Chain A
Amino acid sequence: MSSTFLGMPATPPRSPYGTGNLRGDRKFPKAAHDELRNEQLRRNLGRATRTIRAKRLAVTAELPDWEALRDAGSAIKTETMNRLPELLEQLERNVTERGGTVHWARDGVEANEIVTRLVKATGSSDVIKVKSMATQEIGLNEHLESAGITPYETDLAELIVQLAHDKPSHILVPAIHRNRDEIRQIFLKEIPGVDPRLDNVPAHLAAAARAYLREKFMTTKVAVSGANFGIAETGTLAVVESEGNGRMCLTMPDTLITVMGIEKVLPRYQDLEVFLQLLPRSSTGERMNPYTSMWTGVTPGDGPQDFHLVLLDNGRTAALADRIGREALNCIRCSACLNVCPVYERAGGHAYGSTYPGPIGAVLTPQLAGMHAAKNDPNSSLPYASSLCGACFDACPVKIDIPSLLVELRHQNTEQSGATAEKLAMKAAATVMRHPKFFTAAQKGAGIGRVIGGRDGTISHLPPPFEGWSASRDTAVPPKQTFRSWLASDEGTATMRAAADEHAKNRKTTEEEK
């Protein structure tokens, strides 16, 4: 047992600043501003999210017990977080008993080092990879490359992203921002020996990827995967996928290295009966995904004979220490919240700057990596990348209350921001509104706004510290005079008197009609 447990509990650290892919290089509004100009991106995204929304609704409506499954899924994840230490120790014990080796990583840097060391020990200079959010989060590919090891992404969308030297923009379909013509161009340019007559038919593009990767699957000795679930009770790991690239990576090589976030553990094998219904229907909108692989340690004569499980913290314990925010750890990475989000649908995944985009990314990223790790931390803008419409909450298969988490993060951001201009302005406004004389003077002062308003009567750029407000909306100029000064004028008095006369006349007419 750790000595820290016996003393005062310390707040666990976030993912170290400057490592991995949990922070963009600019704030959301600025990044979104540029992405919104990309009409191709918006067309691709709009079409894709519409399609998948319809599919999800159809297959979730099919199950009369969908809400009961969500309740169970939510409760199982809550139970998991409460019992996390014992469940991880149980998982470790069972994986080890079945011939696997378990490693622990405090952060992404340590996980990258462990994986690199394990790959080097095999003597292989190549690894094949199953799509994995955790390894994307820690920047494993970049680290492997710097150590002279070539990672080959084998999921079609991840392959497209890797070949285009691009970044993923969606949890489930990382190349959703690309259309078939763009993908054809990428393949023609980047796949060695591809048929130059390759057209843009998705089936033909998929066939080109199959031909390219087939040889890698047959010859590469090491694979790296993530895990959708790790069962504490049995030591079983599960990878949910569609293409068969997962099965290839989990079956063909001699060595398998799985990187799993510590929150992915589930208490019981039986719990799979819930998540194997929730995940595919929420994620791809299918009754079941084409392939799911489950393995427990090493099976003699079947699959990799050398198996390593790397358990990753990287800020997860910091999220767990937040009474409200910890709920984000319940996420099963289905991406349903992205597909229903009006902000994601327009801005796209890159604007969030993190491996985790969309509504869940806006709550998970600041919790894993912090919001104030740097001056003007881009992550501090993420809780505001939402209209709080609540569609994400309704879509979430484990009922994460994302809007409430966003509001809590906004609160934390304001608290941590110190003496901001906004805080000072609010304080000043409170004083002014308590004193009628100040209030009248302030209203007179607002008349200056008419000068910067120009002819169209709107202000599109407010001076600091109010530029944040005017960056995303126009401000109407203040009227010529305040209501109170108008009421006191001759015109005001005459208008009020006329209105009173009119009212008296109407009342008289109504009474006569009776």
Chain B
Amino acid sequence: MADTAATANPETTEDTGDGVRRRDFLDIAAVSAAGVGGLAVLYPLISQMAPSKDVLAASTTEVDVSAIQPGQAIKAVFRKQPLFVRRLTPEEIAAANATPASSLRDPETLADRTQEGHQDMLVTMGVCTHLGCVPLGAAEGEVKGEFGGYFCPCHGSHYDTAGRIRKGPAPTNLEVPEYTFTSDTTIQVG
């Protein structure tokens, strides 16, 4: 021990002539390892806040749409959030198609937002794209806003009969989730 100390000290601390000490390697290696380790620790610390496996697992929902009459809507639950399924009346379809998409904040036609052959079936999230309130208009007797679709009472966003934003602070149309018709009367969302 005494031996090593006596011989090691001059070698490790003294300048070897080109401004580099042998201990510099140790310093850089130690600080780098601590830095990389510190960054590696950050990942689980941040990632733990993301949705857990059970939350992610609540993936698909089946909805029976057979009982919905034209002009009616039902509320279902998809990923713990409300889902609006609405059967449009011919007048509502006409109103939606009469509006040129280019004049809208989020230009989409009714056909873009429904599935072929089921243009009267409007499936959207019941979550206002402004700050996430549930818009009114799906249940009987609720206000439907100035454009006959949905109205968000929180900050006054008006959606039309195709669930498109027409007035108020919401930036985009009501989200249309991914869904398929598993039969003529049933849809599977997610």
Partners in one complex: no
